[in-house]
Amino acid sequence: MKKCVQLIVLLLLLQGCSAQKQASQLIDAAMETVITESLNYYLYFPKEYEEKSDEKFPLLLFLHGGGESGDTLSTIKANGPPKLIAEGKQFPFLILAPQNPYKRKWWNTRAVVQLLDTIVENNRIDKNRIYLTGLSRGGGAAWEMAVHYPNKFAAMAVVCGMTPLPYATWIDKNMPIWVFHGEEDRSIPISESETMVSRLRDLGHEVRFTRYPGVGHDSWIQAYSTEELYSWFIAQKRKTD
């Protein structure tokens, strides 16, 4: 009997040691991280900005695609509003066009919004008329920003971007959205936009959807040549419930 009791005690001690060993593999800890990002950018001012010194202006944030990432800043003039500006087009709002510094990384949208906020605070910007647009990888980043910062933008236009479908409910229902996509896109299939547009409409969002038959991944050529897009932007002002 005495040996039996001793054996039971020994087993309990061994189990206790085993549990203590397992517990020691899980610790509570904390670490404050600091991540810095260097973003080169273009900032376009409309002609009226200096003439109307007492007026606040809208601003369009443009996010380029993967092909313009991690190179000289001038490469972002290849597409979208920067290309049109280089060709002499005039816009009625400021345009902020940062460059993603990494060829093979997603946009750091936290860094982008810090840049945007700094530009807004240091210039005469109407905070209720900040617009967002992006193409391809930049289109995906635009969707991400709409999810993470639902109270910041008055309107958004996305061209052939990947979509965060599970988080569609996070996007502000009061923000008008215009989506563009080529039906023959092999890089980012049009189904990305189709499912997102359908989901948003089911949720009660105001969404315009422009499809381009026979067009591949470069649907941004047609999208940013659509003059109505810019008059549509300028007509939008941030709404609140």
Element (H, E) at 23: helix 2-23
pLDDT band at 15 (very low <50, low <70, confident <90, very high): low
Instruction: Note the pLDDT of residue 34.
Output: 87
What phi, psi does 214 have (nearest 5°)? 75, 5
Instruction: Note the pLDDT of residue 9.
Output: 41
Roughly what angle, to the nearest 10 degrees, separates helices 137-148 and 109-121? 70
User: For residue 46, is pLDDT > 70?
Assistant: yes
Residues of the chain with pLDDT > 90: what percent? 85
Instruction: Note the pLDDT of residue 5.
Output: 43
Residue 195: closest CA among 184, 215, 179, 216: 179
pTM here is: 0.88
pLDDT, mean over the chain: 92
Element (H, E) at 233: helix 227-234
Domains of the chain by start residue, with CATH: 42-234 (3.40.50.1820)
Residue 91: closest CA among 79, 77, 81: 81
pLDDT band at 24 (very low <50, low <70, confident <90, very high): confident
- Tens digit of each residue's pLDDT (9 = 90 or more) over 183-221: 999 999 999 999 999 999 999 999 999 999 999 999 999
- Tens digit of each residue's pLDDT (9 = 90 or more) over 75-132: 999 999 999 999 999 999 999 999 999 999 999 999 999 999 999 999 999 999 999 9
Instruction: Note the pLDDT of residue 12.
Output: 46
Instruction: Note the pLDDT of residue 23.
Output: 55
| CA distances in angstroms from 183 to 116, 144, 213, listed in the order given | 32, 23, 5
